[in-house]
């Protein structure tokens, strides 16, 4: 029998000079957490021990609840005292060179991701599938193609990862997401999914949302939203809520920070894709990318006058993009 992707990855990682780390994007979300948990279990089946390390905070209530419910052993980079240059890392649900991941001292030898392909950054193992709606579906496939059955807590977290990243199987969903969802469903504990769904917003979030929603401005089918919070995951979650408003098919949400402007874009208008729009918004001043339906970006403070120009700048660019693409 020919080697599976898991076999190839495990064979590579066995040569690691020291420890193996699995690193998701910063501010890990349910898809990133589930993917790391699943991959850690898979690698252990092939005799490779690994640690999950992440940078920045885990912000959202459901992500934090996941860690407790599924007993996920994640370590913040600042507490990973043994992490060093001789260690190897597998990037999960993220790629090198993206604004959402810190370059830790480890050697990033492998990547498993479902975001836009950023080119080979020196990896020795790559599995990047931009067509997949979630990284959890890719990891789930690693189980089934190796005839391994995920334990219930892992099946449940992967199911929830697919659920969250595809917005309940309605956003950027591929056949793989659906197939894996179906296979995991039989193994998952649905009561825990219900519990996670009941933990998606914290009381603090609610207040931040309330303030942010007062800023919503609508131009044709574009909704603009300005969030004052420093919390990255809220930006995406708030965009999703604004997108659910009747008549709004595109959302540009942004948060102005000292370091620069964080952007989150959503679109269900097939003529005005979220990734194209975010690239237009940051053109010449920042970085951005993503999927047709959801995308993100960042404009560093040096490139834009944070004190006053941001709102007009973004609105002007978004509206002219919209008029051009939908004309």
Residues that bind Mn ion in the complex, under the rule CB under 5 A: 31, 93, 135, 165
Q: Which is nearer to Mn ion, 59 or 93 (CB)?
A: 93
CB of 137 to Mn ion, least distance (A): 10
CB of 95 to Mn ion, least distance (A): 11
Q: Which is nearer to Mn ion, 172 or 223 (CB)?
A: 172
Calculate ∠ Cα 174-155-41, nearest 5°. 105
CB of 69 to Mn ion, least distance (A): 19
Q: Which is nearer to Mn ion, 134 or 314 (CB)?
A: 134
Question: What is the four-CA torsion angle of 89, 161, 115, 274, rounded to 10 degrees?
Answer: -150
CB of 138 to Mn ion, least distance (A): 10
- Separation between Cα atoms, residue 13 and residue 6, nearest integer Å: 10
163 in Cβ contact with 193 (< 8 Å): yes
CB of 153 to Mn ion, least distance (A): 19
CB of 165 to Mn ion, least distance (A): 5
Strand order in the sheet with 217-219: 217-219, 222-227, 250-256, 260-267, 294-300, 287-290
Q: Which is nearer to Mn ion, 27 or 314 (CB)?
A: 27
Per-residue 3-state assignment (H helix, E strand, C coil) for 239-270: HHHHHCCCCCCEEEEEEECCCEEEEEEEECCC
- Separation between Cα atoms, residue 325 and residue 3, nearest integer Å: 45
Q: Which is nearer to Mn ion, 226 or 273 (CB)?
A: 273
Q: Which is nearer to Mn ion, 87 or 165 (CB)?
A: 165
Residue nearest to Mn ion (CB): 31
CA nearest 289: which of 76, 119, 138?
Answer: 119
């Amino acid at each position: 029998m020919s080697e599976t992707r898991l076999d190839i990855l495990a064979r590579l990682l066995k040569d690691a000079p020291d420890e193996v780390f699995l690193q998701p994007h910063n501010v890990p979300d349910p898809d990133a957490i589930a993917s790391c948990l699943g991959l850690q279990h898979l690698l252990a089946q092939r005799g490779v021990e690994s640690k999950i390390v992440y940078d920045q905070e885990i912000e959202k209530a459901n992500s934090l609840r996941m860690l407790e419910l599924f007993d996920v052993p994640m370590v913040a980079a600042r507490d990973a005292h043994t992490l060093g240059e001789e260690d190897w890392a597998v990037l999960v649900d993220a790629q090198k060179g993206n604004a959402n991941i810190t370059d830790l001292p480890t050697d990033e030898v492998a990547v498993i991701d479902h975001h836009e392909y950023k080119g080979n950054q020196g990896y020795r193992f790559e599995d990047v599938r931009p067509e997949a709606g979630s990284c959890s579906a890719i990891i789930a496939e690693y189980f089934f193609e190796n005839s391994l059955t995920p334990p219930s807590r892992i099946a449940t977290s992967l199911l929830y990862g697919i659920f969250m990243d595809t917005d309940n199987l309605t956003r950027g969903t591929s056949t793989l997401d659906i197939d894996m969802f179906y296979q995991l469903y039989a193994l998952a504990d649905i009561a825990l999914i219900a519990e996670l769904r009941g933990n998606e917003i914290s009381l603090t979030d609610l207040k931040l949302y309330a303030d942010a929603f007062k800023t919503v401005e609508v131009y044709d089918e574009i909704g603009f939203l300005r969030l004052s919070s420093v919390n990255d995951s809220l930006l995406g979650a708030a965009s999703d809520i604004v997108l659910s408003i009747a008549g709004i098919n595109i959302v540009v949400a942004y948060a102005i920070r000292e370091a620069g402007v964080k952007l989150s874009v959503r679109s269900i208008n097939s003529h005005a894709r979220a990734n194209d729009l975010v690239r237009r918004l940051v053109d010449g001043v920042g970085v951005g990318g993503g999927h047709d339906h959801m995308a993100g970006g960042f404009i560093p403070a040096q490139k834009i006058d944070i004190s006053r120009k941001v709102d007009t700048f973004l609105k002007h660019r978004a509206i002219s993009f919209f008029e051009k693409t939908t004309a």
